[in-house]
């Protein structure tokens, strides 16, 4: 049966504590800019592949939670 040495266990404990301490530091606050940023999504229209129905974004999805996934093979 494998029985770890006390120095090995102490080393693992020290490493775990270092990772915990360094990983819990707060991130610096983002720099504020004086110019207002537009947070609304740009409008666009696309055609659904199966139904060939036109979809207007974001008008058709107003008030709904939406995730856009852009996929490319190239």
CA separation for the pair 67, 41 (Å, rounded): 12
User: Which of the pair, 67 or 31, is modelled with greater confidence?
Assistant: 67
Residue whose token pair is 């490493």: 15
Nearest to 44 by CA among 25, 65, 59: 59
Average pLDDT, integer, range 31-44: 70
- Name the band, by pLDDT with cuts 50, 70 and 90, for residue 53: very high
CA separation for the pair 6, 12 (Å, rounded): 10
Average pLDDT, integer, range 35-43: 70
């Amino acid at each position: 049966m494998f029985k770890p040495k006390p120095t090995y266990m102490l080393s693992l404990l020290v490493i775990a504590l270092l990772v915990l301490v360094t990983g819990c530091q707060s991130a610096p606050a983002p720099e504020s800019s004086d110019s207002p940023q537009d947070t609304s999504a740009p409008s666009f229209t696309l055609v659904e592949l199966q139904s060939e129905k036109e979809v207007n974004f974001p008008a058709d999805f107003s008030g709904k939670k939406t995730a856009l996934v852009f996929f490319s093979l190239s």
